[in-house]
Amino acid sequence: MSELEDPVVRFEHVSKTYHADGQDQHALHDVSFDVPAHSFFGVIGSSGAGKSTLIRTVNGLERPTSGTVTALGKNPAAITKTELSSLRREIGMIFQHYNLLQSKTVAENVAIPLLLAHTAKDAIGQRVQESLRMVGLSEHAQSYPSQLSGGQCQRVGIARALVTNPAILLSDEATSALDPVTTRQILDLLNDINSQYGISVLLITHQMSVIARSCQQVAVLDHGDVVERGAVSQVFSHPSNPLTRQFVETVVPRQLPEALAARIAQGEEGTTVLIRYRDDAAKHVLAALQSSTGAHEVALLHANENALRDVSIGQLVVSLQGADGATLGTKLGELAADDLEFEVLHE
């Protein structure tokens, strides 16, 4: 998986304005970013932020008003119908409401993209079986959608998206109609598909928990503008935009409990330090704090840790009893590292 590989999707200054009822609706405004090959990329935004519009420009279901989308080297808005059909076979898409045909079996539903592509009959059977195996539904090939749970229906939707052997999978709120446990199972399935087969995933969602569990990179969309973008570990540990902070707060509560915050502010806990860490970077931090600051006790006031897809991030609040206030900043600076940060809450 070479870093030199071209991105699978490139958005360059993409804007989209809808004209409805004599009014202009600006759905996207100057959106630019790349989706790297083989990556799992998430776009989060509130309802109406422009997420569906954005993802639909990738397979040519929407056409930008200005700017360019490049998907697998092609511009879906500037190629012939035949070229677009062939591009769409390389881009699978899954939806919130699965879009399955109720009168057809699971296998028949999964076969639809191959029938549309006039694939040879004997190749269809084999490829359908393979896709159902990838999503763990081999046993249900002859079932009908009405006999399946929501999670199983979404697996059928994923198998149908995979049946043409795509390089990209687009997911438009694919877990939004599912309960939390099923959501996790479907996200884990998408993670497996991404890491085992190298299929790039571009997922859009309004739930930050979905981003946390699955994505490596994230872009935050606010009323058509990308307001923040970066590695998920970075955005979760250092969100800079106010909207991003709100989204992050839903998964990683950074606010301290009110009563504790008040005690610290009033000095009742003495010298108090907030520690932010990644993975096991805080393993020896309590002992190190005690010996380097000269504190006679390090008391733990608060702790939380959250597992993201590739990394865990956590925060601790400690009070340092008997620490030398004059040298505290210097000592903390010596202990700090990329994955271990300190903030003095009260001296």
Using CA atoms, how far apart are residues 295 and 285, in angstroms rounded to an integer? Answer: 13
Using CA atoms, how far apart are residues 77 and 21, in angstroms rounded to an integer? Answer: 25
Using CA atoms, how far apart are residues 8 and 295, in angstroms rounded to an integer? Answer: 53
Q: At what angle do helices 106-116 and 150-162 cross, to 10 degrees?
A: 30
Per-residue exposure over 131-162, b if at least 16 CB sit within 10 Å of its own CB, e if not = bbebbebeebbeebbeebebbbbbbbbbbbbb
Long-range CB pairs of 252-257 (<8 Å, 24+ gap) are 252/212, 252/304, 252/306, 252/313, 253/304, 254/315, 256/302, 256/317, 257/302
48 binds, among Mg ion, ligand ADP, none (CB under 5 to 8 A by kind): ligand ADP
CA atoms within 13 A on the CB side of 3: 0
17 vs 306 by CB, closer to Mg ion: 17
Number of residues binding to ligand ADP, judged by CB under 6 A:
12
Between 31 and 50, how does the x/- string for binding to ligand ADP read (CB under 6 A)? --------------x-xxxx
Site for ligand ADP in 47-76 (CB under 6 A): 47-53
52 vs 70 by CB, closer to ligand ADP: 52
CB of 223 to ligand ADP, least distance (A): 8
Site for ligand ADP in 195-254 (CB under 6 A): none
Rule CB under 6 A: choose which of 27, 137, 186, 219 binds ligand ADP.
Answer: 27
CB of 25 to ligand ADP, least distance (A): 4
When computed from its CA atoms, the radius of gyration of the chain, rounded to whole angstroms, is 24
Site for Mg ion in 51-90 (CB under 5 A): 52
Using CA atoms, how far apart are residues 108 and 105, in angstroms rounded to an integer? Answer: 5
In a 3-state reduction of DSSP, which class is residue 162?
Answer: helix
Identify the residue whose tokens are 């100057």: 30
20 vs 326 by CB, closer to ligand ADP: 20
259 binds, among Mg ion, ligand ADP, none (CB under 5 to 8 A by kind): none
CB of 249 to Mg ion, least distance (A): 22
Number of residues binding to Mg ion, judged by CB under 5 A:
1
52 vs 154 by CB, closer to ligand ADP: 52
Torsion-angle region of residue 48: left (phi > 0), alpha (psi -120 to 50) or beta?
Answer: left
29 near ligand ADP, rule: CB under 6 A = no
Rule CB under 6 A: choose which of 5, 6, 13, 18 binds ligand ADP.
Answer: 18
Closest residue to Mg ion, judged by C-beta, is 52
Contact set with Mg ion (CB under 5 A) = 52
Positions in the binding site for ligand ADP (CB under 6 A): 18, 20, 25, 27, 45, 47-53
